[in-house]
Every structure is written in C-alpha cells, then in structure tokens.
C-alpha cells in the first residue's frame, strides 16, 4: 500500500508540488558506492540504468551543487538554496569511470568521490568487497568459525541464504579490532575456497586525474579503509593524513573532504574528528542518515542512502517520506 501511494504521488504530480513548496535551509548529501551494469546483490550498488534516471531527475528537480561549495556556505553562515543536493561516492570503484563519469558529464552535474588510496593502481580491495566476492562465488554450503570465544556454524544452501550469512558475518567482523578481524577473515577465506580473483578494482590514478580535470571533486577515505576506532590512534592518524597526501599528489590540488570508513556513530569519535580537522580537512562525512542544516557539524555530515530501485522511491526518500 505504501509503495502504491508513493507511485501515485510521484506520477500524479503531487511530489512536484511538495518539492516546490520546500524552503531553504537543509541539504541532502547523496551516498553511492558501486554503479553496475546489472544487479549485484553482494555489492552495495545501483544499476547504471537506475543511476541515469536518478541523475536526470536531480537535474530537473533539484539544485545539485558541489559538496565543497555547500560546506563553505555553511561555514560562512550563508543561506542554503532550496532543494540543494550534493552527490558523493564512497571507495572510488572503477565502475564509476565507466558508468558514472559519462552521466555526470551529460547532465553537467558536480560530484565528490571519496577514495581509499592504498588500492589505487592495484588488484587489492577493501576487505568488505573481498568478503562479498567470496560468498558470491563459493561452492561451499556452510561455514564454521570462532567469534568472540564461541564457535558458530552457518549454513547457506542457496543464494538467498548465502546473502543473509554474508551480511551477518560482515557486520560481526566490523565490530572486531583489526588484528582479530584480519585473522578471522583469512580463516573464512580458507573455508570458502574461491580459486578465482575478484575482478573489481578501485579507480586507476590516471582515471582519477582525468575525472578531476573534468571537474569531479575527490576526497579522502583513508589509505586502507580501516574502521578508525578499531585501530591504534597513531595508525588512524597515518591513514587520515596519508590518503590526503596521495590524492593531492595525483590531482594537483587541495583535498578538502574526508569520509569515515563505515561511517556509523561508533566508527568515529571526538578524537578522530580532531585528527581529521588537524590534518587540514574542511569537513568529513558519515553514513548516518539525515540532512544538514545551517548548524550542521562539518566533521559529522549526514548523508542519504540511494539504493532505491525505482524513481518514485528515490524521489520519496529525498522528500523524507519515512523509512522506505
């Protein structure tokens, strides 16, 4: 019933009327990860077709601005124009060059890509991507691991079960401090026994440079994508500073923005925020859901997830019509 109501509101023009009535103040920061040619259920993604529809809609109905610009306006105490939106991408996957860059150029839309720099020009990936690939490709139907001192068995006779176990195991691993997480990941990898390598890649340095020269902004997302509260403070500082230095060397200009890996409320704290600020960043993004008003904390900016498969659901989320 709710989806029917949303679809009716979208196609009847009610959404357009509601949108036109919106005043100035808060702005959305949209958050994307992968943009793929087809559905990839083991990856956080939207398809290229859906992404293209969303960008056409944003161009028509919203004021899409660069995130750097919006944050500077907040810092100066300026009024944020009505229907302002910024577009961001986490991790910096190669599919952005294929499926996103041409669309952004077509509609002349600004965007910011947060890159984990330790994976540039390599075949290595954040462990979350590798875990998803293992569960997608494994021929195994079960897994037995020890987590938190207890031995646990997981069964996954079909794809739906594998997806559910993947999500549970991923969340359990995220809660661990890095040495324990690394050790457990290796044991999972051994049991799932996938012989082929993951074809997914992070953007090449040459692609980053080309996109930056065309007007796409780049921000840092650490070097190796650790959850910063799960590693020693000294290492966290190296991750925060090192990614900024690497990106600036590639694009030849200042990197102003940072994005916390995982980005939930337990994945950064006041100490981490202070590190980000002292490293020279002007703002940082979380994955916490919400909009940002004039009093927004520039080092804990909220964002809006964008995984909706249909345009009416996407439009409804931007109107903040409840949890979809």
Q: Can you tell me the distance from the alpha carbon of 141 to that of 193, in angstroms, rounded to the nearest whole number? A: 11
- Domains, the chain, in order of start with CATH, read 15-122+201-240+248-257+265-274+295-318 (3.20.20.370), 127-192 (no CATH)
> Is residue 306 very low, low, confident or very high in pLDDT (cuts 50, 70, 90)?
confident
- What's the pLDDT at 322? 41
**Phi and psi of 110, rounded to 5°?**
-80, 155
To the nearest whole number, what is the mean pLDDT of the chain?
A: 93
Task: Quick: pLDDT tens for 28-40.
Answer: 999 999 999 999 9
Q: Can you tell me the distance from the alpha carbon of 108 to that of 58, in angstroms, rounded to the nearest whole number? A: 11
| Contact predicate 32/26, CB 8 Å | no
Task: Quick: pLDDT tens for 45-61.
Answer: 999 999 999 999 999 99
- Total H helices, total E strands in the chain: 13, 12
pTM of the model: 0.94
Share of the chain above pLDDT 90, in %: 82
**pLDDT score of 323 more than 50:** no
| Contact predicate 53/30, CB 8 Å | no
């Amino acid at each position: 019933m709710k989806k029917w109501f949303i679809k009716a509101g979208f196609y009847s023009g009610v959404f357009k009327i509601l949108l036109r009535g919106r005043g100035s103040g808060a702005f959305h920061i949209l958050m994307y990860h992968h943009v793929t040619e087809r559905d990839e259920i083991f990856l956080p993604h939207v398809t290229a077709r859906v992404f293209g529809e969303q960008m056409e809609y944003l161009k028509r109905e919203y004021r899409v601005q660069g995130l750097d610009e919006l944050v500077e306006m907040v810092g100066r105490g300026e009024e944020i124009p009505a229907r302002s939106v910024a577009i961001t991408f986490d991790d910096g996957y190669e599919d952005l060059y294929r499926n996103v860059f041409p669309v952004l150029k077509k509609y002349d839309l600004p965007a910011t890509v947060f890159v984990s720099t330790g994976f540039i020009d390599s075949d290595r990936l954040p462990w979350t991507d590798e875990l998803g690939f293992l569960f997608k490709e494994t021929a195994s139907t079960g897994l037995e691991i020890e987590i938190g001192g207890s031995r646990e068995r997981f069964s996954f006779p079909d794809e739906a079960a594998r997806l559910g176990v993947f999500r549970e195991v991923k969340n359990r691993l995220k809660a661990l401090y890095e040495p324990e997480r690394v050790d457990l990941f290796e044991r999972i990898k051994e049991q799932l026994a996938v012989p082929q390598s993951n074809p997914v890649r992070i953007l090449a340095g040459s692609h980053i440079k080309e996109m930056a020269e065309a007007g796409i902004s780049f921000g840092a997302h650490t070097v190796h994508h650790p959850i910063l509260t799960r590693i020693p403070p000294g290492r966290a500082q190296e991750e925060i500073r090192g990614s900024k230095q690497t990106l600036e060397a590639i694009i030849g200009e200042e990197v102003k923005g940072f994005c916390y890996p995982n980005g939930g409320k337990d994945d950064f704290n006041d100490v981490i925020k202070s590190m980000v600020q002292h490293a020279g960043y002007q703002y940082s993004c979380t994955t916490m859901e919400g909009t940002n008003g004039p009093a927004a904390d520039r080092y804990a900016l909220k964002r809006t997830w964008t995984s909706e498969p249909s345009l009416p659901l996407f439009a409804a989320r931007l109107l903040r019509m409840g949890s979809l």
